Structure 1
């Protein structure tokens, strides 16, 4: 039997220990957020039953109609300031037997799947509940009383249309929400289709969470990545090792996992992702039947892309070459920080320059060079911070 976690430690205490050891820099903005997370921890600890005093006591407790409201926290600010690190510290300490930490995109994919399954049950006569939202919310709450979302953002109209009703149910059940985001609540789903129908969710969110800005003066993620080469050639063991080293530095101890980016009726598979970083091979993106909309979804989802094993592009790879041109155009237009391992320097990747494709690849090569420049790299976090 595993020992129970030590709930006496706080996020502030852990942050102080890490700064004292030299693992982190002293950061007052991070400490302010840590104090707010500790407030939520204290509320969660107080809510936990102190002891199983009697079966009768538990029965009466279960019959209580009023649900104790614990305000969660919505942490927003520029990339690389430590939002995810603080939330992960909190999640590890949270005294909840049922808790869930997920990227928001992953959570919403799960929600849509559950709604579809509930509608199918109603269609098949397995339930009389025509509205799928209440049972889906009840199931979600039964699995997790605490939800921690990384990179909370709303870009899909299908998500936008159900969030208010879904979280009305979840919050009424007593669910506690902690979220990190690059976007303040008032700018969620900004300029989205039928945004007026989404606005009640923003009001609901502000009612059940405290909103705090984390804008440290230092972008710790970029501070580490700036020392790493961003274009490695030729394709050999040294290039693979250098890409792995840059990736590990970017992870900063976090665990990258596969994920999916939902599209209309399908999804884009992401082999490895954490926060706003992802790692693909050339084959993942250019051998697969992906198009401009897919690359746009990737650019909107991630700030930093690692792309392994770009080969030389001969006449037998015309489709892959076209996709690669579109991919680089999209990443460049969105100021994505790109790490590449390739078989040759940009101008030598295309083996035969013929017609329009040759001219287009000249632009691609030029952009790959520019994406290595200090000026371009300096813009990459600024774009997200401005959103």
Structure 2
């Protein structure tokens, strides 16, 4: 059903692009046929990229992924630009129709000119936004330094640094070099603890194990910890990634907690599985994850999706660290993300629980980020 809906939407988008870019801008003849062939070819390319590898259960060729996903982003912005220009074009067409009958031949030329001008303007806009988005997505993540005040935090943790990274999305477009850069940037911040809050990979260990290997080089006093995101459950064997990360020295918190100590001071670090784990009978279990937490000390929870903050607040969690949203990734789609998540990015408060959401260090789908650059966040804890 998902494939049917997706194919229908893509078909409608390409039909609209064909009408506005090919049919309305040309007279019958070779030019129209050529433009039609280009639009059809790009549509087939996109369908092949999005659907065929999943339908056939085969890895995506890297070249196909790059071409298809870049066009995916470009066609979305092309459609948006055409829709924005549509009222202007229609208003000018009505003005053209009011010309005297003697001007009939020039009227036809003017209408063709309006169609071509609006299509060219939309194309230039889409090309510019897509180029900017690709550059932003592939650039080094911003390093954000965020002070966070926690109740009951012992003096031994004043200045304690937690490096938070999420949504690395290793896959056909992002590989080992992406991981190496992230590891290098995290290590340069000299963190006390590293929290990887889900969506590390978009594929199996066999496909992406090599790309994840640099994680073994993470350096922090208290280690690196991981919780699953929804994408970890897109593979047929999610536990294989837990075993692989354990081999790389990254500890997974699967509905469990551990105690982080500094002398007599301590806080509980807990982690819950992503909501997507329900498919494998591994849903988030807050009661189990927080069973050993001591209410006399702060609790920091790793949970991939910000929407879980309600459950965290009901159980007195002091700080939840999340990702998942990508900060919206591409404007204007952050409006849709904001409808289903309580926060897009940054630090916010729900009841007595603070929620920090990182925009993530990678991307998913089109290799674009517009209005939501990637980040690695370093949270510096301080007591009240």
Which TM-score bucket, shorter chain as reference? under 0.3
